[in-house]
Amino acid sequence: MTDKFKFAMYWAGSCGGCEIAVLETKDKILELDANYDVVFWPVAADFKYKDVRAYDDGFIDVCLFNGCIRNSENEEIAHLLRQKSKVLVAFGACATMGGIPGLINETTAAELKELVYTKNPSIDNPEGIYPQEKLEVPEGELELPHLYDTVRTLDQTVAVDYYVPGCPPEAHQIAAVLDVVTAALKGEGELPPKGAVVGVAPKTCCDECKRVKEEKKISGFRRMWEFFPDPEKCLLEQGVVCMGPATRAGCGARCTNVGMPCRGCYGPPEGVVDQGAKMLSTLASIVDAPTPEEIAEITATLPDPVGTFYRFGLASSLLRRAKV
Amino acid sequence: MSDQFEPRLIGFLCRWCSYNGADLAGTSRMKYPPNLVPIKTNCSGRVDPTHIFKAFAEGADGVLIAGCHPGDCHYINGNYRTAGRFPLMKKMLEQLGLEPGRIRLEWVSAAEGDKFARVVTEFTEEVRALGPLGWNTRTPEEQADAGQASSDRVEEAVPA
Ligand code: SF4
Ligand code: SF4
Ligand code: FES
């Protein structure tokens, strides 16, 4: 091994999009190679858990950890990588906020299994065969990780040094983060304060959005398939639930600039504790109706406020999960 | 002491009407259960859903928001906003499994000490019947989670 810095990347409960986002940095990836030895990165290099276990504590200089803590394997590896890494980065919406998999916090693992293996209309499972965590075979016992009821963020599991939100994080933001960390490792710069959210901009997604904003007053909600939205005007003002006002800037308002509402993947802006609570107040205050009863009637037409306002952030919200 | 369940209730009371209503209940020596912890807010419109979610997340069994009667808000339309936001907030809490009886919105004027006492009495009994909520201590897995949370997001420290 060379005396380059050591780099690791891991995927826990996630879709793999964060790994693709790192490749999206294009020629930056060559700089990564110039400055770092990859010592663990399941999607790109053939290292095993036992290799990581054999490293000294703090051997890895930077570990980008994407994915939420969904099962016992995710949790075990989170602890392992924390121990072996100097700088542990919660990378992407799932690691920072639970992400889309965090929506399972609306229900339980048992209900999930029942839906997938029995109740789903396209499933034919008359014998009720379910996956087992342990199975005896002639060669010994096979074991699957234990699926938790509650998805957790990385920082609800181990201490985290930095946060890079986004589903996935934008390539130019990833490049900027790697630059800062590499410069600091080389002694040419300083690391941001511990706990900082990096690769983002202050303010909200609306501030980066190019759409024309006028008075936010709406008389009802519409879904994208119900009409042809004006391509220039703010989507929220056209009655589409756009999470822009409750979302941190950093992506350059990618979605709204190509005609889709913001889903909130960059998480709550600075100073906002709970993204869903913020969006709920915002929406209720722009509904234009003469009485509270009529406002209530209009907001009641939103079918799934929890899933909409916490699409990426249920696991990191104040309430974190549904009551069971 | 009997061993019946004593609910922990948080009451966000606007300072211009409902807090004075609570004061009046006290100075008039009206009897009502001691379960509600009053928090004085400038206006019911200032009670952000964040405060309510936080109250439940940190162990409240029920939350009351009380403000001036419609038309009487010191800031003209604060209570109108409160009322407009309330049903959507309630829907979200219900989606997360909260019983509707654990959250309540009432208009209490400075002269309605008796109404304040009645609301708190009713609310206490209703939540008592529902039993403990224990949002922060529900399952063993959840309790383990709470013990493991070890790092702070400096930027997102809860503003005072
Ligand atoms: S609400 Fe959405 S569409 Fe409107 S300005 Fe904000 S990000 Fe753009
Ligand atoms: S516009 Fe919203 S959902 Fe789309 S990438 Fe940006 S933060 Fe994420
Ligand atoms: S001041 Fe009492 S509700 Fe606004």
Strands A85-91, A162-164: pairing kind: parallel
Cα–Cα distance for residue pair A270/B159, rounded to 1 Å: 11
Residue nearest to atom 6 of ligand 1 (CA): A206
Q: How far does the centroid of ligand 2 lie from the alpha carbon of residue A257, in Å?
A: 10
Contact in structure between A112 and A181 (CB atoms under 8 Å): no
Considering the domain A5-101+150-197 in this protein, what is its CATH number? 3.40.50.700
Give, for all 160 residues of chain B, the pLDDT tens digit.
568 999 999 999 999 999 999 999 999 999 999 999 999 999 999 999 999 999 999 999 999 999 999 999 999 999 999 999 999 999 999 999 999 999 999 999 999 999 999 999 999 999 999 999 988 765 545 544 444 333 333 333 333 3
Mean pLDDT of chain A: 94
- Which residue in A has a C-alpha nearest to residue B145's C-alpha? A156
* Residue A176 predicted with pLDDT over 90: no
Q: Considering CB atoms only, which of B49, B139, B149 is closest to A324?
A: B139
Strands A5-11, A36-40: pairing kind: parallel
- Which residue in A has a C-alpha nearest to residue B144's C-alpha? A157
In this prediction, residue B135 carries a pLDDT of: 87
pLDDT digits 0-9 by tens, A106-126 = 999 999 999 999 999 999 999
CA contacts within 13 A on the Cβ side of B51: 19
**Ligand minimally distant from the alpha carbon of residue B46:** 3
Q: Which residues of B touch A299 (CB under 8 A)?
A: 84, 87-88, 91
Contact B91 A150 (CB under 8 A): no
The CB of B117 under 6 Å from ligand 3? The reply is no
Residues in chain A: 324
Contact in structure between A221 and A242 (CB atoms under 8 Å): no
Q: Report if pTM > 0.80.
A: yes
CA angle A62, A66, A70 (to 5 degrees): 130
Q: How far does the centroid of ligand 1 lie from the alpha carbon of residue B77, in Å?
A: 26
Contact in structure between A269 and A249 (CB atoms under 8 Å): yes
> Residue A12's closest CA among A220, A153, A212?
A153
Q: Which residues of A touch B147 (CB under 8 A)?
A: none
Sign of the torsion formed by the C-alpha atoms of B130, B131, B136 and B139: negative
pLDDT digits 0-9 by tens, A120-151 = 999 999 998 998 999 999 999 999 999 999 99
Q: Which residues of A touch B152 (CB under 8 A)?
A: 195
Contact in structure between A51 and A78 (CB atoms under 8 Å): no
At residue A143, φ and ψ (nearest 5 deg) are -135, 135
Q: Which fold has domain B9-157?
A: Rossmann fold (3.40.50)
Ligand 3, residue B78: give the atom nearest the CA: 4
Q: In this predicted complex, what is the ipTM?
A: 0.91
State both tokens at A70. Answer: 């969904």
The CB of A256 under 6 Å from ligand 1? The reply is yes
Cα–Cα distance for residue pair A312/B93, rounded to 1 Å: 17
Q: What percent of chain A has pLDDT over 70?
A: 100
- Which residue in A has a C-alpha nearest to residue B134's C-alpha? A323
Cα–Cα distance for residue pair B11/B36, rounded to 1 Å: 6
Cα–Cα distance for residue pair B120/B128, rounded to 1 Å: 12
Element (H, E) at B104: strand B103-107
Which stretches of chain A are assigned E, i.e. beta strand?
Answer: 5-11, 36-40, 60-66, 69-71, 85-91, 134-137, 140-143, 147-152, 162-164, 201-204, 248-249
Q: Considering CB atoms only, which of B56, B88, B151 is closest to A159?
A: B151
Q: A305 in helix, strand or coil? A: helix
Contact B153 A159 (CB under 8 A): no
Residue ranges of chain A assigned to CATH 3.40.50.700: 5-101+150-197
Contact B95 A149 (CB under 8 A): no
Contact in structure between A299 and A91 (CB atoms under 8 Å): no
